[in-house]
Structure 1
Amino acid sequence: MKTHHDNSKNRTGLKTKQTYASRNFWSGFLFGIGLVAFIDETFFHQLLRWHHFYDKSTTDIGLISDGLFHAFSWFATIAGLFLVADLRRRNGYWLKRWIAGVFIGAGGFQLYDGIIQHKLMRIHQIRYVDNVVTYDVIWNIIAAIILIVGIYLVIVTRNKHQNVGDTANER
């Protein structure tokens, strides 16, 4: 049996979720951008050496552009984590909403990279091979799947905090 105190606590938790839903999303979004940029930089730029961030110049310029890209990803990741720390301090951290932001940030950045940077701006390709279309299709399909998962989680979490009930205790 719930008491008045339990219901008040539940409404307070629900209000906290509503208040911090946007901050949870944006901190996850920044972390997602930083994470996918870090993965891109580490695997495709450094380990596989398929391309640099900017391939329209010398190798030295490509390496400098990789360094700037790496710094960008690091700052986005750290900014997202600082926001998480603030949310936890305020008792406003909402894991599922944060993960939604991570997926949208990661998928959105990867799709931006695959369409804008690879095809429209042509600052680099995924890999310099004859049949780059295969790489492009795989890259963009993975990005779209990640983005769709994030959109689904945003919808689910938006509906969860609008419903009355025991959602304040859900992570």
Structure 2
Amino acid sequence: MPHELRLPAFLLGFALGGFFDGILFHQILQWHHLLSLWAPEEGMPFHVVWDGLFHAAHYAVAVFGLGLLWQHREGIAAPRAGRGLVAWAWIGFGAWHILDVVLNHWVLGMHRARIGVANPLAYDMIFVALGVVGLMLGWLLLRRPGSGARGAPVATGLAILLFATAPVAALPPRDPDPAIASLLGGRLLPAFCASWARVDYAAR
């Protein structure tokens, strides 16, 4: 895979990490907003504005990544380009979650993964687990032998995924559905993290 494709794939995965956080944790579960701890007295309109700026920054990252991918599109036909694009996108996705936890949660104190709980660190570790998942999947894909999928369909799929998730991330939050919040927050995320722990152990 050409070196020039690593950065655009990383940036696309990084942007997807931000969209994933915005859609799941800001809108559906509403566990936190960007400035939940910096401005706890402010109402939802204030947090919607700042969440919007958060998403706008990730739109800029996504557009820049797509521009770089288009600029180096000749390399998409190279051997292992498809697998490399997926691997570096996963690495970008994982890096976003690690950076968010370390910088925004622990250093700057802008928010935690879930506000108003007795042990916020336990929920922060969900983000750490998501970051480890992304980094490990990317690393395993890069080490895997074989040519993998062709680059053009993978690049197209990444672009479609971004175009599909970006408008959803722009939607304002609504009152969370208790059933959905219970399913995602109370069952699927812990099960996901536990499953990945078993996969990681088996891969060693």
Q: Which has the larger radius of gyration?
A: 1
Note the C-alpha offset of 1:130.
1.4
Cα displacement string for residues 55-103 of structure 1 (whole angstroms, at most 9, x for unaligned residues):
2122344222211110111122222223333333x25351111112111
User: Which ranges in structure 2 are unaligned for 5 or more consecutive residues?
Assistant: 151-204
- For the residues of structure 2 that align with 1:156 and 1:86, how far apart are their CA atoms? 27
| Paired residues, number | 142
Who is 1:133 aligned against? 121
User: Which ranges in structure 1 are unaligned for 5 or more consecutive residues?
Assistant: 1-16, 161-166
- For the residues of structure 2 that align with 1:109 and 1:85, how far apart are their CA atoms? 23
Q: Tell me, what secondary structure is at the counterpart of 2:32?
A: coil
- For the residues of structure 2 that align with 1:61 and 1:155, how far apart are their CA atoms? 45
- For the residues of structure 1 that align with 2:112 and 2:149, how far apart are their CA atoms? 43
Aligned 1:21-32 pairs, distance under 5 A: 21-32=2-13
- Over the aligned positions, Cα root-mean-square deviation in angstroms equals 2.3
Aligned 1:57-136 pairs, distance under 5 A: 57=39, 58-59=42-43, 60-88=45-73, 90-93=74-77, 94-128=81-115, 129-136=117-124
- For the residues of structure 2 that align with 1:47 and 1:92, how far apart are their CA atoms? 35
- For the residues of structure 2 that align with 1:68 and 1:170, how far apart are their CA atoms? 36
Who is 1:163 aligned against? none
Runs of 4+ in 1 over 4 A off after TM superposition: none
Normalised to the residue count of structure 1, the TM-score between the two structures is 0.72
Cα displacement string for residues 20-78 of structure 1 (whole angstroms, at most 9, x for unaligned residues):
x2221111111011101011111211222221112212234422221111011112222
Who is 2:183 aligned against? none
Who is 2:31 aligned against? 50
1:34 aligns with 2:15: yes
Instruction: Using the aligned pairs only, state the percent identity.
Output: 28
